[in-house]
């Protein structure tokens, strides 16, 4: 099977298939005499597995581990469960941080007249006070993007 057919069958772009091979996520594909990559049904199966794991937000590094467990017939399901739980925890952290950002913005928007006048509490707030709370908390944590907006529950508009 050509890379194009494998791509269609696995829903992984040819570009990505080559990339996964390059970084060692999948073993080098067999080649035809003319240098074309040749894929088996099993290869497509593995690519599909990767694609579904990506759909669930697993990183390539995590998928490396998942593939290892997938191939390990003597695996312990506890290991798989632990990996999945770690990923869930990470997702929950990011969701929490984005919820806080959204809540802050929604509180600001609620106070903005949104008309033709220039006065705007959104800009005013971005300009003036410290948005971040001062909890040192788990700064070492793995949340990749900043997330220190206060939730700003339902404070009255300041203007």
* Residues of this chain that bind DNA (CB under 7 A): 2-5, 7, 13-16, 18-19, 29, 32-37, 54, 59-61, 146
CB atoms within 10 A of CB 155: 10
Residue number, 33 or 130, with CB nearest to a copy of itself: 130
If DSSP codes are grouped into helix, strand and coil, which group holds residue 18?
A: helix
Residue of 61, 91, 142, 157 that binds a copy of itself (CB under 8 A): 91
Contact call for residue 127 and a copy of itself (CB under 8 A): yes
Cβ partners under 8 Å of residue 156, min gap 6: none
127 binds, among a copy of itself, DNA, none (CB under 5 to 8 A by kind): a copy of itself
- Output the CA torsion sign for 10, 16, 17, 21: negative
Separation CA 18–CA 31 (nearest Å): 13
Instruction: Kindly report the backbone phi and psi dihedral angles of residue 132, in degrees, each rounded to the nearest multiple of 5, phi listed first.
Output: -70, 140
Contact call for residue 61 and a copy of itself (CB under 8 A): no
Residue number, 19 or 70, with CB nearest to a copy of itself: 70
Contact call for residue 144 and a copy of itself (CB under 8 A): no
Rounded to a whole number of angstroms, the minimum distance from the CB of residue 18 to DNA is 6
Tell me which stretch binds a copy of itself (CB under 8 A): 16-24, 25-33, 36-44, 126-134: 126-134
Cβ partners under 8 Å of residue 21, min gap 6: 27, 28, 29, 37
Residue number, 15 or 106, with CB nearest to DNA: 15
Contact call for residue 74 and a copy of itself (CB under 8 A): yes
Separation CA 159–CA 156 (nearest Å): 9
């Amino acid at each position: 099977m050509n890379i194009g057919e494998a791509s269609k069958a696995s829903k992984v772009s040819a570009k990505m298939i080559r990339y996964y091979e390059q970084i060692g996520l999948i073993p080098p594909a067999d080649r035809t005499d003319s240098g074309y990559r040749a894929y088996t049904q099993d290869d497509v199966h593995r690519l599909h597995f990767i694609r579904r794991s990506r759909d669930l937000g697993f990183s390539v590094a995590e998928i490396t581990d998942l593939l290892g467990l997938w191939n390990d017939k003597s695996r312990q399901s506890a290991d798989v469960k632990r990996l999945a739980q770690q990923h869930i925890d990470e997702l929950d952290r990011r969701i929490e941080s984005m919820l806080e950002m959204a809540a802050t913005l929604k509180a600001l928007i609620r106070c903005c007249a949104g008309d033709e006048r220039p006065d705007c509490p959104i800009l005013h707030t971005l300009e003036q006070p410290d948005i971040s709370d001062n909890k040192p908390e788990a700064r070492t944590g793995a949340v990749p993007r900043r997330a220190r907006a206060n939730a700003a529950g339902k404070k009255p508009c300041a203007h």
